[in-house]
Amino acid sequence: MATNILILPLAQVTVTTGNNEDWIDSFQFVQDDEITPVELTGIAFSMEVRHLSSDNEVWVRGSTDDGLLSVGGSGDSFLLIKIPYDMMKEVAPDDYVGDIVADADGIKRVVVQLAITVFQGITR
């Protein structure tokens, strides 16, 4: 069965989260009509977050394989990020970049580009 990987758009997303909380976000991909959800069934996703794209050090990593990214919601059209506090508390407050890569049908595609600000949480 073929997936919808080829109709996923490239989304550019700005995120603000703290290093004293779980990072939880969700995205719904929709078709060109901006109404019809795109089903994500059968697509694997992975994400890496770095200070700069050229850096070797990965500050946050997640995937659908490890459960830190998942597909769900109505019609399996939502991509969820669920990075727990135990990981976030290790992330220094700063600006970061990241992306999310979709993988299905022998194709890998960047589907989300992230600009991330991690703030120093007050309540620790």
- Domains of the chain with CATH codes: 18-119 (2.60.40)
Q: How far apart are CA 72 and CA 70, in angstroms?
A: 7
Higher per-residue confidence, 61 vs 73:
61
The pLDDT of residue 1 is above 80? no
The pLDDT of residue 9 is above 80? yes
Cα torsion at 37, 103, 22, 120 (round to 10°)?
A: -110
Give the model's confidence band at 11: pLDDT under 50 very low, under 70 low, under 90 confident, else very high.
very high
Single pTM value for the model: 0.94
In this prediction, residue 31 carries a pLDDT of 85
In this prediction, residue 74 carries a pLDDT of 82
